[in-house]
């Protein structure tokens, strides 16, 4: 039996871009006076009691892929798509690290 080929960087990036993400269950996402707020609840309160105010593109009100967020941001902002994608990838990386976002596992 031949060993499986390692995935390329392009393959990995495509998989990451198509994974759906949402605000973690340890946080509430609420719209207050026309602005969104991410509020820690439960175990998240023990780490931080800070309320975060993301921009509209970073809201993840419902599960979204990075590709969907990049497309939405490209319509809203006048910036190169590559720069938007890099910003979104950095945002997702950081928020996953701090468990503000979580991957949506479909059954």
Work out the pLDDT band at 16, boundaries 50, 70, 90: confident
Own/partner pairs for 80-87, CB < 8 Å, 24+ apart?
Answer: none
Q: Determine what percent of the chain is predicted with pLDDT higher than 90.
A: 2
Yes or no: say if 53 and 27 are a contact pair by the CB < 8 Å rule: no
User: Could you tell me the maximum CA-CA distance found in the chain, to the nearest angstrom?
Assistant: 61
Average pLDDT of the residues in 20-26: 85
Instruction: Give tens-digit pLDDT for 57-107.
Output: 666 667 788 888 888 888 888 899 889 888 888 888 888 888 888 888 764
pLDDT at 80: 92
Distance between CA atoms of 41 and 27, rounded to whole angstroms? 5
Residue 100 in tokens: 């503000």
Distance between CA atoms of 98 and 27, rounded to whole angstroms? 12
């Amino acid at each position: 039996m031949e060993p499986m080929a390692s995935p390329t960087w392009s393959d990995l990036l495509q998989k990451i871009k198509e994974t759906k993400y949402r605000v973690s269950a340890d946080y509430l996402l609420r719209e207050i006076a026309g602005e969104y707020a991410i509020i820690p609840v439960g175990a998240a309160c023990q780490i931080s009691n800070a309320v975060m105010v993301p921009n509209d593109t970073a809201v993840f009100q419902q599960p979204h892929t990075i590709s969907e967020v990049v497309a939405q941001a490209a319509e809203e902002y006048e910036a190169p798509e590559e720069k938007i994608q890099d910003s979104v990838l950095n945002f997702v990386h950081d928020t996953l690290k701090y468990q503000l976002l979580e991957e949506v596992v479909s059954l």
